[in-house]
Chain A
Amino acid sequence: MPELDVSTTVNGRPVEMRLPTRLTLADFVRDRLGLTGTKVSCGMQVCGACTVLVDGDPVSACSYLACDVDGREVLTVEGLADGGELTPVQRAFVDCSALQCGFCTPGFVMAATALLRDEPHPTEEQIAHHLDGNLCRCTGYLPIVEAVLKASRAGGIDE
């Protein structure tokens, strides 16, 4: 099975591994690194549960080659809360009860984090446009919009 050497940084930690070319980024972080916060659901890039950031950009880890993070930086949900301190996005999702089963939550948190990096004070419409590719089957979305607005007021991705 074809393989390549991959040298990457995951949540600030350098990782060097030889990986099968067919391995997805989701399987890489989940199975090889034990970072199971990233979830796989639709497998077709429409649900967003597997959203992680590669060099700051949101990608669908289920449909992204692990080898393509060679030389790049990966941020998964486990890399957010530094030393146990929740980020404003995570804090707002807790405070607004913007989750139920929680399976979509890491993807939403990552997507919202990327949004607030680009646009620290988004309108409700911008939030909806940005998160239209993340599905949640439990909440009915209103608490999620509320949480992103709250995180934005709380200073977005920074303190």
Chain B
Amino acid sequence: MLPPFELRRPVSLAAAVDLVATGGTPYCGGTELLAVMRLGLASPETLVDLKRVPELVGITAAHGEIRLGARVTHREAAASDAVRTHAAILAAGAGLLGNVRVRATGTLAGNVCFAEPRSDILTALLALDASVDLRSADGARSVPIEDFVEGAFTTVRADEELLEAIRVPARSGPSAYVRFAPAEHPTVTVAVVATGDGCRVVVGAVGERPELFTFPGTGDVDPTAIAERVDITEDLNGHEDYKRHLTAVFVGRALEQMGVADA
């Protein structure tokens, strides 16, 4: 049973920002928020529904980056030509997470703000060096994903800020996304992106938040070293030694998928 709440449905970004500034909780797909409300873990007084805000719609590719509005669902992202071409691992993660209903309803922005430690989206976005645009009544700021997520379920977003868009640098180099999910939430996710100036490896799901490891090139990636260094949280998906082992295995498999020899 959901607790009682006011539901406001602004039709402009300005109105939405005002409502959030005065204590409203941003709400769009609800796949995460309604779940925690149902469990009694949150009981916001006012939900600000973003589904009628035109400024938050759509995926655009321009100026070497892809912009995903706050209303973009996982399914839209997974099916988007722009995302598939320039941020293939994001499309992969968005197409695999949860289930078909969650992907049709849930948004990337909501996922990012929720900061669930096992988020496929966060793993992919961190590897892609994405950033988020936050807007409040006082102004706007852009924060790299790396700085945005502080830990499990915590971000630097202030209560009066609205996540307006996610921006992802467009890349066409080799990349890979692998996940091991014998349970509902993945046990480990690995994203690898080869950029012009190095290789970004992100390990997700094993700890409180996805963790970034950078190397000069794909040939320099050392799965064992990553597995030794990554922060682990034990849970029903596995103990520490198992998760470290899986980390090495799946970093290796991601490199294999990219065609990196000797992985």
Contact = CB atoms under 8 A, between A and B. Distances in A.
Direct contact of A and B (CB under 8 A): yes
Interface of A: 1-2, 4, 20-22, 24, 43-46, 48, 51, 57-60, 63-65, 67-68, 111, 114-115, 130-134
B239 to A, nearest CB: 24
Interface of B: 1-7, 30-31, 34-35, 38, 47, 49, 51, 75, 98-102, 104-105, 184
Contact of B4 (A20, A51, A64): A20
28 contacts: A2-B4, A2-B6, A2-B7, A4-B7, A21-B6, A22-B1, A22-B4, A45-B31, A45-B99, A46-B184, A48-B99, A48-B101, A58-B100, A58-B104, A59-B101, A59-B104, A59-B105, A60-B31, A63-B35, A63-B38, A64-B34, A65-B7, A65-B30, A114-B100, A115-B100, A133-B98, A133-B100, A134-B99
A63 B184 contact: no
Contacts of B47: 21
Contact of B34 (A2, A20, A51, A65): A65
Contacts of B1: 22
Contacts of B6: 2, 21
Query: Which 6 pairs from chain A and chain B are nearest by CB?
Result: A133-B99, A21-B7, A22-B2, A57-B104, A60-B101, A2-B6
Contacts, number: 74
Contacts of A24: 2
A104 to B, nearest CB: 14
A67 B2 CA distance: 13
B4 A21 contact: yes
